[in-house]
Structure 1
Amino acid sequence: MAPVEGAPATDDRDPAEAVTAMVDHVLALAATWTAWDGTPAQADDRVHTPHKAVRRVADHMVDHLAELEARLVGERPLPDHWHASATTTPADLAPFTQNDLDEARSRLGRLARIWANRLSALTEEQLDHSPGDGWTFRQLAFHLTGSTYYADAVGDLDGAS
Structure 2
Amino acid sequence: MFLYAVNILHCCSEKNVKDKCQVFKSFGWTQPDIMKLIRLNPMCFTSSEARIKERLGCLMNQMGYKPNYLAMHPILFMCSMEKRLLPRHRVLQILKEKGLLREDYLLTSAICLSESVFLKRFVLPFEEVHQVYAQLTGSTVESFNKVVKS
**TM-score, normalization by structure 2:** 0.26
**Larger Rg computed on CA atoms:** 2
**TM-score, normalization by structure 1:** 0.25
| Higher RCO structure (Cα 8 Å, ≥6 apart) | 1
By percentage of residues, which structure has more helix? 2
